[in-house]
Structure 1
Amino acid sequence: MKLKRSGVFLLGALAMTIVLFYIDINFYNDSDFTKDNVNEILFWSFVRGLMISMAVSIGNHYRLIQKK
């Protein structure tokens, strides 16, 4: 069960990473990105996606507990 939960976290983080990365690239609006800049933006997009995914999963878990 814990492996499934970890997979859900990572899948949600991956989906959010793509969206957040696209938003960040358009937000900076810089035409000359270096590889380091792109890697840093991608890393922080993944971290934010992971945190959002975990927060949603924790919220769903507690909502299910309260329904019982």
Structure 2
Amino acid sequence: MKAEHREWTIDSRPKRSGNHWHSWCEVERPPWEDEDEGQIFRFSDLDYFDTERAEHERAINWAKAWLDENF
């Protein structure tokens, strides 16, 4: 599941682990005018959830909070 937050794209990529969903995501920004490359950050071990939907919500909300704090 992908979500946009300002100039960033957040891609929640759950992985099934037994009966739970392992939460992780990728946060990407395309290059700005004066750059050759954008930025990509990958975050894992955000937690485990009983449903895929709960995992998506956690990953996207966590990434938005991280972006607000760091950019």
Q: Which bin holds the TM-score, normalised by the shorter protein?
A: 0.3 to 0.5
Relative contact order higher in (CA < 8 Å, ≥ 6 apart): 1
Q: Which has the higher strand share?
A: 2
Q: Which has the higher helix share?
A: 1
Given the two structures, how large is their TM-score scaled by the length of structure 1? Answer: 0.39
